[in-house]
Structure 1
Amino acid sequence: MQRVMPDRPWPLHDLAATRRLEQAAAAALPPHTLMQRAGLAVARLASAIAPHARTVWIACGPGNNGGDGFEAALHLKRWGKEPVVTWRGEEARAPEDARASLRRAREAGVAFAAEPPQRWELALDGLLGIGSTRAPEGALLHDIERMNAADAPVLAIDIPSGLHAETGAATACVHASHTLSLLALKPGLFTLQGRDAAGCVWFDDLQVDAAGEPGTATLSPPPARALRPHASHKGSYGDVAVIGGAPGMAGAALLASRAALHHGAGRVFVGFLDPDAGALDARQPDLMVRPWDSLGLAEMSVACGCGGGEAVRMALPRALGARALVLDADGLNAIAADAQLQSALQARGHRGAPTVLTPHPLEAVRLLGEGTKAVQADRIAAARELARRFASVVVLKGSGTVIAAPHGAVRINPTGNARLAIAGTGDVLAGWIAARLAVGEDAFEAASAAVYLHGLAADRWPADRPLTASALAVS
Structure 2
Amino acid sequence: MSNRTDDARKRAQTARQILTVAQMRAAEQGLMDAGHDVHALMQRAGRGAGEWVRRLAAGRSVTVLCGPGNNGGDGYVIAQYLADHDVPVCVVAARPPQTDAARRARSLFAGEVREAGAALSQEGLPRGGVLVDCLFGSGLSRPLSDDLAALLGDLAAHHAMRVAVDLPSGVDADTGALLNEGLPEWTLTLALGAWKPAHFMMPACVTMGAVRLVDIGVEAMPGAAQVLARPVIAAPAPDAHKYRRGLLGIVAGAMPGATLLSAQAALRGGAGYVRLLTGGEAPSGVPAELVVSRGALPDLLADGRYGALLVGPGLGRDDAARAKLDVALASGLPLVIDADALVLLQPGLAGVNGLATRACVLTPHEGEMQVLEHNFGLSGEGDRPARAVALARASGAHVLLKGPCSVIAAPDGSVTMGSRASSWLSVAGSGDVLAGTVASRLAVTRDAGAAAAQALWLHSRAAERAGSAFTSGELAHAIGGALAEVLA
TM-score, normalised with respect to structure 2:
0.83
- Is 1:243–1:305's contact at 8 Å kept on the other side of the alignment? yes
Cα pair distance change 1:177/1:236, threshold 3 Å: same
Deviation at 1:131, TM superposition (A): 0.9
What secondary structure does 1:269 align onto? strand
Higher mean alpha-carbon deviation, 109-118 vs 448-457, is at 109-118
User: Among 288, 293, 298, which residue is 2:292 paired with?
Assistant: 288
1:52-451 map, 5 Å: 52-54=59-61, 56-91=62-97, 94-105=98-109, 108-114=111-117, 117=125, 119-146=127-154, 149=157, 152-172=160-180, 173-206=183-216, 208-211=217-220, 213-214=221-222, 216-246=224-254, 249-271=255-277, 278-284=282-288, 286-288=290-292, 290=294, 293=297, 296-297=300-301, 299=304, 300=306, 301-311=308-318, 312-322=321-331, 323-335=333-345, 338-341=346-349, 344-345=351-352, 347-350=353-356, 352-369=357-374, 378-414=383-419, 416-451=421-456
Deviation at 1:355, TM superposition (A): 0.6
- Is 1:361–1:375's contact at 8 Å kept on the other side of the alignment? no
Cα pair distance change 1:268/1:78, threshold 3 Å: closer
How big is each residue's C-alpha offset from its partner over 1:345-403, in whole Å with a ceiling of 9 and x where there is no partner? 2x1223x1111001112222222239xxx969522211111111111111111233211
Give 2:40's aligned residue: 33
- Is 2:445–2:451's contact at 8 Å kept on the other side of the alignment? no
What secondary structure does 2:251 align onto? strand
Cα pair distance change 1:251/1:156, threshold 3 Å: same
Deviation at 1:113, TM superposition (A): 4.2
Deviation at 1:170, TM superposition (A): 2.7
How big is each residue's C-alpha offset from its partner over 1:213-266, in whole Å with a ceiling of 9 and x where there is no partner? 3460222222223222343322223332223542xx321111011211222333
Cα pair distance change 1:457/1:43, threshold 3 Å: same
Supply the distance in 2 between the matched residues of 1:305 and 1:61 (Cα, whole angstroms). 52
- Is 1:178–1:199's contact at 8 Å kept on the other side of the alignment? yes
Cα pair distance change 1:287/1:470, threshold 3 Å: farther
Give 2:8's aligned residue: none
Supply the distance in 1 between the matched residues of 2:257 and 2:249 (Cα, whole angstroms). 15
Supply the distance in 1 between the matched residues of 2:152 and 2:388 (Cα, whole angstroms). 31
What secondary structure does 2:275 align onto? strand
In structure 2, what residue type is equivalent to 1:18? M
Supply the distance in 1 between the matched residues of 2:113 and 2:348 (Cα, whole angstroms). 68
- Is 2:330–2:351's contact at 8 Å kept on the other side of the alignment? no
Supply the distance in 2 between the matched residues of 1:148 and 1:253 (Cα, whole angstroms). 49
Supply the distance in 1 between the matched residues of 2:270 and 2:428 (Cα, whole angstroms). 23
Deviation at 1:201, TM superposition (A): 2.2
How big is each residue's C-alpha offset from its partner over 1:156-205, in whole Å with a ceiling of 9 and x where there is no partner? 11122223323333354543221222122223212333542332222222
- Is 1:279–1:289's contact at 8 Å kept on the other side of the alignment? no
Unpaired stretches in structure 1, ≥5 consecutive residues: 1-5
- Is 2:18–2:196's contact at 8 Å kept on the other side of the alignment? yes
Deviation at 1:149, TM superposition (A): 4.9
What secondary structure does 2:330 align onto? coil
How big is each residue's C-alpha offset from its partner over 1:398-455, in whole Å with a ceiling of 9 and x where there is no partner? 2332111112222122373112111111101111111122234311101111111111
Supply the distance in 1 between the matched residues of 2:374 and 2:157 (Cα, whole angstroms). 39
- Is 1:9–1:220's contact at 8 Å kept on the other side of the alignment? no
| Percent pairwise identity | 33
Q: CA RMSD in A?
A: 2.9
In structure 1, what residue type is equivalent to 2:201? T
Supply the distance in 1 between the matched residues of 2:414 and 2:275 (Cα, whole angstroms). 32
What secondary structure does 1:369 align onto? helix
Number of positions where the alignment pairs a residue of Structure 1 with one of Structure 2? 450
What secondary structure does 1:36 align onto? helix
User: Among 51, 64, 68, which residue is 1:44 paired with?
Assistant: 51
User: Among 4, 12, 17, which residue is 2:18 paired with?
Assistant: 12
Cα pair distance change 1:400/1:8, threshold 3 Å: farther
In structure 2, what residue type is equivalent to 1:450? A
Cα pair distance change 1:45/1:229, threshold 3 Å: closer
Cα pair distance change 1:282/1:327, threshold 3 Å: closer
In structure 2, what residue type is equivalent to 1:400? C
Supply the distance in 2 between the matched residues of 1:454 and 1:155 (Cα, whole angstroms). 30
Supply the distance in 2 between the matched residues of 1:285 and 1:29 (Cα, whole angstroms). 60
- Is 1:358–1:396's contact at 8 Å kept on the other side of the alignment? yes
- Is 1:402–1:412's contact at 8 Å kept on the other side of the alignment? yes
- Is 1:147–1:174's contact at 8 Å kept on the other side of the alignment? no
- Is 2:127–2:155's contact at 8 Å kept on the other side of the alignment? no
TM-score, normalised with respect to structure 1:
0.85
In structure 2, what residue type is equivalent to 1:29? H
